[in-house]
Chains A and B, each alone.
Chain A
Amino acid sequence: MNREGAETFLRLLAEAELRDPALLSPPAPRSPDAPVVAMSAALWRASWALTTVGALDAETAEAILADVEFALAARHRPEPAEAGVIGWAAGPAGLRRFATARLMSRSSRRRPSEPSPRPSRAEAAGPDRYVPVGLTILFHDQAISGELNVMSYAHSVSGARFTATWRARDPVTSRHHGLPPVERFAVTDDRGNRYDLLFLVTGRPESSCDLTLHPDPPPDLRWLDITAPGEQAVRVDLDGPAGRPTLQVNDRDLSAGEHLLNRIADRMLTMVPEFPSRVTPAPLSNLGMGLGAAIGALEAAEVLSKLSPVPGRLAALCASLGISGHGITVPPALDLPEPWLSMLSHYHRRRPDAAPAGDGFAAVAAALPEFDGLRLVLLGLHNCDGDTWMNTLTYGQLPREQPGPLRLDMAFPLSIWVRDDAGRWHVARPTGWHDTGGEAMLTLRLAPPLTRACDRIEVRAAGRSAEVRATVPLRWGERQ
């Protein structure tokens, strides 16, 4: 990685920006609160790409952008003063051009530090057990009734938990509200031990949760009985077939730049099902802005080969989605990856009135091997309100979410795709995660959603060092 080349590229891009007469000309009148000076998307995107791959530390990038912002502001003459006043308006209107300038002290700038080594799952001794469940537990009392759909049981070093979806409603008004009264559930194991359930939704969408067992059970439990208020006990068999996935691991050596560009493509494709195909929506166009500058920056940082086929594929993807103004200079490539083609095919065929996927949940528990310092465990899949969610547990240090400019957050370091049993590909987008120090509850949303007719999926998780393909049977449970 060439960090000096990265910084030099960004600074030279800033120099070119300052020569751009379009940016130096007076802006059209806008709202009084709007920033007077705006730098180009190219500069933002290049800066973002360099910091995302670690070629430039965030403070240096921010300082460079702050200098550009200030330089642009200094070259915009303020509005002429009113008649009778000599000079330029110096009040709030005049000074407003510097209002957003945040010049940073050079002394605080740091070189990027090497990422700290991530603890691997192998280093963390403790239970490592994942069981698909697929049971529905009904509950009802005077105040609330509903159901818990238990997708999986997981026992790791941080404890034992069920991953479930849930629905609750007021029995009088039938309105959906309230949380399952898990504090009144009785949970006993095959040895007569009793447990409390703790209800957690952090890292999960509104429709799913994790139920942690307290105290921590022994690692070799055979079954658990769960008795909800007003219902018979439901036995959760933990000794049944684990439904192990068929795994295929392929080593690879993807550059940081190619990996980033692939994930940008993923991000574009996750948005595709949200919009009708005739018009390229603004959010998609925004995603494409400045990509050419980002590619140039990655090449300057020597994390992307000039011979890489990925920029050409990204250009083809932009062309197919009607995204212009991306600034990618290489010609569009013809050899698009199969998942991209599948998504594009869906996009161009899509009927706006296509029926949403029906609600449901599938029992899944599959641990993928560790790669790129992360290990992913699938703990259930469910459909809710037309979306499909994949609930996972992730080992390793996930970076903090880093919302980038123009709706690009690339903090999650893997590219995850799912192929259904009809051969159609679905791209997975992280919707957030809750890191508990080496373990994170991570939920991914699939686009387009899966239908409940799907009996098995192939999950493809790709990082820089490896690609893992896991074929997982789906056991759909019936909601009551």
Chain B
Amino acid sequence: MTSGGSGGSSLRDNTAGTNGPWFACLPSCETEVPCGAGRHTVRWEAGSLRLLSHPDAEGELVLAALGGGKARCIELAEVWGRHTGDLSMLAIGPRGPADAIAVGWEEVLVAAQESQGNLPRPGPMRLASPPGPTMARVAARRRQVQEDMLATQRRRNDMLSLLAMGYGFQVRLIGQVAATHAARDGGERVRPALVAAITGRLALVTEEWLGIDPDQVVVDLHSRRSWGSSGLTGYGADRRLRVSLPADWLARVWACGLARVGRYLIVAVEQPGWPEARVLGLRSPGTAPEPLSVRADPDGPADVPHWEVYE
């Protein structure tokens, strides 16, 4: 964890591409987190998580390591950091603003309490004879089972916390995960997850854009430097919208709320910025994308930026 700008600690993104950081079209957003006896504000800003009520997070971590309690905000920042490359976030997180995920902090707290209640307790064990190899194997197996159980619980609780932060944070974490893997080019290990993540989200956008059945949208990953390609094939049940997009479309376009602006499907960002940007938009499948200037309402909801074409 590195300290950030004024007023708190932050986790920084370091996936800036050749066209600036992926989040350059995103405003900051905030949420309230139950922490200690009250509720603290956590802010996402320029790819970083800021803990406004904990200006010395590093110091608090040292104290926690010495046996003191760890503030929930600090825990949350750690959770965020653990999942910035977690492809499960793409599978679990929202597909669009209408895809409501209902997880509240109450559930997070209950889950954490239940996990503590379920912790395996190393009970006293009496041995009639010195432990032999079999006993050692059994003990090792038991330790492994316990560790797996704890890891599973921690992962579930992590995911619940991330979802409880709300749509704005969920979308930004999805963008972060996508940007991380797009920058790494993880090959066949990550391509299926990225293809599915883009398909699931693009399908809903194109349904609004063209009225096409989401099941008829076929996506593949575009690996060259251009924006990609699109085309409509077949008729009736065989109709397919085939779109080829780079992996970072999910971060640079979709996560920034730019997937559809007016009558256009946005396929790339030429000049990122907030609240104004230059993008490439398709008016219809198979056509060349048009350069567009788009503008967001800076006073609109930060979670879901609303963009419009202005020239």
User: Interface SS of chain B: helix, strand, loop or mixed?
Assistant: helix
B191: chain A residues at CB < 8 Å are 4, 8
Of A90-98, A196-204, A249-257, the segment with at least 4 beta carbons within 8 Å of chain B is: A90-98
Question: Counting CB contacts under 8 A, is B100 at the interface?
Answer: yes
Interface centre among A4, A74, A78, A104 (most CB of B within 10 A): A74
Question: Counting CB contacts under 8 A, is A75 at the interface?
Answer: yes
Q: How large is the interface on B (under 10, 10 to 19, 20 to 34, 35 or more residues)?
A: 35 or more
Interface centre among A12, A104, A111 (most CB of B within 10 A): A12
Of A13-21, A333-341, A426-434, the segment with at least 4 beta carbons within 8 Å of chain B is: A13-21
| Contact B107–A90 (Cβ < 8 Å) | yes
Question: Counting CB contacts under 8 A, is B251 at the interface?
Answer: no
Contact residues, B114-167 vs A (CB, 8 A): 114, 151-152, 155-156, 159-160, 163
Question: Counting CB contacts under 8 A, is A275 at the interface?
Answer: no
* Cβ-neighbour of A75 out of B102, B188, B195 (below 8 A): B102
| Contact B99–A104 (Cβ < 8 Å) | no
Question: Counting CB contacts under 8 A, is A67 at the interface?
Answer: yes
A7-B192, A70-B92, A105-B151 in contact; A75/B101 too (CB < 8 A)?
Answer: yes
| Contact A103–B102 (Cβ < 8 Å) | no
Question: Counting CB contacts under 8 A, is B104 at the interface?
Answer: yes
| Contact B152–A74 (Cβ < 8 Å) | no
* Cβ-neighbour of B102 out of A7, A64, A88, A92 (below 8 A): A88
Question: Counting CB contacts under 8 A, is A175 at the interface?
Answer: no
User: Interface SS of chain A: helix, strand, loop or mixed?
Assistant: helix
| Contact A4–B92 (Cβ < 8 Å) | no
Question: Counting CB contacts under 8 A, is A77 at the interface?
Answer: yes
- Nearest CB in chain B: distance from A106 CB, A: 6
Of B196-204, B240-248, B253-261, B263-271, the segment with at least 4 beta carbons within 8 Å of chain A is: B196-204
| Contact A15–B101 (Cβ < 8 Å) | no
A98: chain B residues at CB < 8 Å are 107, 111, 156, 160
A4-B191, A12-B196 in contact; A74/B163 too (CB < 8 A)?
Answer: yes
| Contact A106–B88 (Cβ < 8 Å) | yes
A3-B188, A103-B155, A103-B159 in contact; A71/B114 too (CB < 8 A)?
Answer: no
With A16-B215, A70-B156 known, 11 other A-B pairs at CB within 8 A are A4-B188, A16-B214, A19-B203, A19-B204, A63-B88, A70-B88, A74-B103, A78-B102, A98-B156, A103-B88, A103-B155
The interface of chain B, by Cβ under 8 A from chain A, is 86-88, 91-92, 95, 99-104, 106-107, 109-111, 114, 151-152, 155-156, 159-160, 163, 188-189, 191-193, 195-196, 199-200, 203-204, 214-215
Identify the 10 closest CB pairs spanning chains A and B, nearest first: A90-B106, A11-B196, A15-B200, A67-B91, A7-B192, A8-B192, A103-B155, A4-B188, A71-B92, A77-B102
7 contacts between A and B (CB under 8 A): A11-B91, A11-B193, A19-B203, A77-B102, A78-B102, A87-B106, A88-B102
The interface of chain A, by Cβ under 8 A from chain B, is 3-4, 7-8, 10-12, 14-16, 18-19, 63-64, 67-68, 70-71, 74-78, 87-88, 90-92, 94-95, 98, 101-106, 111
